[in-house]
Amino acid sequence: MSRVPRFRISEDSALPGAALEAWRRDGLLVIEGFVPPGDCDALRQSADQLVDAFDPSEVATVFSTHSHEHAASEYFETSGDKVRFFFEENVLDDRGLLTRPKAVSINKMGHAMHDLVPAFQEFSYHPRLVALAEFLGFDDALVIQSMLIFKQPGIGGEVTWHQDGTFLLTEPQSVTGFWFALEDADLSNGCLWVLPGEHHKGLRQRFRRVGGMLQIEDLGAAEPFDLRRKVPLEVPQGTLVVLHGR
């Protein structure tokens, strides 16, 4: 198993040159201690308040007027400028009603907390992130989507191997993921797994609308993921993992 290097920012938000080399070589950059514990906790507290205020019957209304597949697709597709809640598989019945308490049914929240919720806005546009985007050489970086991923105990589908560029395709391909550990993440609670260097092989799939429905389309050329090199990324709270879109 290859070892993924870890870095820390200095007090003035700087990183060593070796971090840039790692980013280019591996297509990922692990920065421990990037977010102070208090900022992680504040974000989780804000998320808890959003969950408390969320009325799951809003989802049932969407689901009651469409087929399940159509409703799920529309609910997802129109969430880019909203704060919506997405459930784990098999927690909604045929009418879109929850079969267990909402707080332990949510898979993720998305996709515009960075523009709509003050604590997320402060977190997402923090000067240390601006400094990092400059360090990585991003030109005119924009925050286009935010997600908070819950890892519910005892329930939940696997997040399969993917490239974020499949879902957020731009010309030229430029999407970059900033994944923050809001609590310690390890093998027992659903840490990330990564394939260092795999981004050199190009984008494999694209998410697009076919016949009114979103589908995955193979882009052809690229070879399959080399899963022999997969690495679990166990990281402490406050770690940032920057992920190349390919």
Ligand X SMILES: O=C(O)CCC(=O)C(=O)O
Print the binding letters for residues 67-86 with ligand X: x by CB under 6 A, - otherwise. --------------------
Task: Compute the least distance from the CB of residue 159 to ligand X, in Å.
Answer: 4
Query: Measured between alpha carbons, how far is residue 32 from residues 5, 111, 234, 236 in Å?
Result: 10, 25, 11, 7
Print the binding letters for residues 23-62 with ligand X: x by CB under 6 A, - otherwise. ----------------------------------------
The answer to whether 159 contacts ligand X (rule: CB under 6 A) is yes
Phi, psi for residue 55 in degrees, rounded to 5: -105, 110
Burial class (CB in 10 A: 0-12, 13-18, 19+), 62: middle
Closer residue to ligand X in complex, CB, 144/159:
159
CA–centroid distance for 79 within its chain:
15
Closer residue to ligand X in complex, CB, 82/93:
82
Query: CA–CA separation, 57 vs 185, rounded Å?
Result: 32
Does a cis peptide bond (omega within 30 degrees of 0) precede residue 172?
yes
The DSSP secondary-structure symbol of 98 reads: B
Print the binding letters for residues 188-217 with ligand X: x by CB under 6 A, - otherwise. ----x-------------------------
Q: Which of residues 164-183 bind ligand X (CB under 6 A)?
A: 164
Crossing angle of helices 68-77 and 57-64, rounded to 10°? 120
Q: Which of residues 89-148 bind ligand X (CB under 6 A)?
A: 147
Find the angle CA(61)-CA(63)-CA(66) to the nearest 5 degrees: 115
Task: Compute the least distance from the CB of residue 50 to ligand X, in Å.
Answer: 18
Closer residue to ligand X in complex, CB, 104/149:
149
Closer residue to ligand X in complex, CB, 92/192:
192
What residue is closest to ligand X based on CB?
159
